[in-house]
Amino acid sequence: MSPTGIRTRARQGFPRLTGRVFRARMLKVQSAFREHGIEALLVTRPSSLRYLSGFTGSNGLLVLRSRSVVLVTDGRYQVQAREESMRAVRVVIVRGSLIEGAVRTGFLRKLSTIGFDDSAVTLRMYRDMKRVLSSASLKPVAGFIEDFAEVKEALELAALKMAARISDSVIAQLLPLVRPGVQECDLASEITYRQRRLGAERDSFEPIVASGPRTAMPHARAGSRTLREGDAVLFDLGCVVSGYGSDITRTVFLGKPDPRLRKVYGIVRSAQDAALQAVHAGVSARAVDAAAREVIARAGYARNFPHSLGHGIGLEVHERPRLAPSSKDTLRAGHAITIEPGIYLPGAGGVRIEDDVYVHDRGCDLLTHSPRELIQL
């Protein structure tokens, strides 16, 4: 049925998170209530909701008490909420405000301290919460669930590996398509399409394809620029498997590279190597960022590396830890992170190389395996 005549690869072998996984997570979170001084927790961040219950809808509020849990959502998700969330979750369908609906169930009665994530609640929502929960005290506990979610379990690692493998395959499929006369947006369409055909749920973010001088924009959108001989071509792409996303960047050259970019490529690669060497459980995220940043600074390009070195990946494409000069995070065994140094020369172009790694006690394992050598097509 497809233009290529190939059916989407079956997802049967893909990791499937079971009720047991969710039950274990829920228990861990509930048993930390006392430590945080709360009796219940309001979960509003979509990735936290998915992490704890499996629910993927766009509108949901999870109310956790120490021994029970309610998912409040609207009528559109009646069937889906029941289907996706584990059995112990009571699903309540409401019209209008979710927090008002939750209060109407009586489930929040007699609670004196309720935790919530102040970085996932707008000021307007907060005022609604204050109004309808006037007798309880609301306690900000941002990062509470992320603290568990940032350390990846075996099934999560399996999903991340599968997502990385699909992105690797698509990069390999893409190289023969990088030719003069092709537009950036042609390549972006192929990325999205081919990741899905290999079984991904979706892109983990809108793929970036930049060519020529546009590679100097770290986050360029794929435009209608046509590739020419001599161009640098930068792809930044990722896909989602069972909720978990990959994130990989390669910069290749169509014909002979500009000598400045050839030089820069070598520096970026050395910077990435230095960072990969520095990764292990217990090191500060800042030190890993510094390992790469120093290589770039010594070569005289400090001002041309204007972003952080990397970030956690998982249910969100950017999650904790943050690898940046100002980061206060420490790497832990089980973190899945990106390592993505780049150098951008306005007017000329840029180079970024990004891989995903899994942190363990003695170092890290690469999840992405596309070649990192300079490729001249």
Q: Kindly list the residues in this chain that would bind its own copies in the complex (CB under 8 A).
A: 1-4, 7-8, 10-11, 56-58, 74-80, 83, 93, 95-96, 118-124, 126-127, 140, 142, 177, 179, 182-183, 185-186, 188-190, 192-193, 196-197, 201-202, 206, 216-221, 224, 306-307, 325-326, 344, 346
Calpha distance 65→13 (Å, rounded)? 35
Structure tokens at 282: 């217990």
3-state SS, one letter per residue, for 25-75:
HHHHHHCCHHHHCCCEEEECCHHHHHHHHCCCCCCEEEEEECCCEEEEECH
In this structure, the number of other CB atoms found within 10 A of the CB of residue 371 comes to 12
Smallest gap from Cβ 306 to its own copies, in A, equals: 2
Contacts of 193 (CB under 8 A, 6+ apart): none
Smallest gap from Cβ 208 to its own copies, in A, equals: 11
Nearest to 238 by CA among 176, 186, 170, 182: 170
Q: Which amino acid type is present at position 121?
A: V
Cβ nearer to its own copies, comparing 281 with 297:
297
| CB-facing half-sphere around the CA of 114: CA atoms within 13 A | 24
Smallest gap from Cβ 362 to its own copies, in A, equals: 32
Calpha distance 198→9 (Å, rounded)? 5
Nearest to 339 by CA among 298, 290, 281: 290
Per DSSP bridges, beta strands 232-237 and 248-253 are: antiparallel
- CA distances 239 to 192, 281, 321, 356, Å, are 8, 26, 20, 12
Nearest to 147 by CA among 275, 52, 42, 286: 52
Cβ nearer to its own copies, comparing 258 with 281:
258
Cβ nearer to its own copies, comparing 266 with 325:
325
Cβ nearer to its own copies, comparing 196 with 369:
196
Cβ nearer to its own copies, comparing 26 with 188:
188
Whether the CB-CB separation of 64 and 30 falls below 8 Å is answered with yes
Smallest gap from Cβ 377 to its own copies, in A, equals: 13
Cβ nearer to its own copies, comparing 122 with 362:
122
Cβ nearer to its own copies, comparing 102 with 188:
188
Smallest gap from Cβ 192 to its own copies, in A, equals: 6
Smallest gap from Cβ 281 to its own copies, in A, equals: 26
In this structure, the number of other CB atoms found within 10 A of the CB of residue 333 comes to 15
- CA distances 260 to 214, 265, 266, 305, Å, are 15, 9, 10, 15
208-211, strands of its sheet edge to edge: 208-211, 232-237, 248-253
1 burial (CB, 10 Å; 0-12 / 13-18 / 19+) is exposed
Smallest gap from Cβ 198 to its own copies, in A, equals: 10
Smallest gap from Cβ 185 to its own copies, in A, equals: 5
Cα 343 off chain centre by? 22
Smallest gap from Cβ 211 to its own copies, in A, equals: 14
Cβ nearer to its own copies, comparing 118 with 294:
118
Smallest gap from Cβ 187 to its own copies, in A, equals: 8
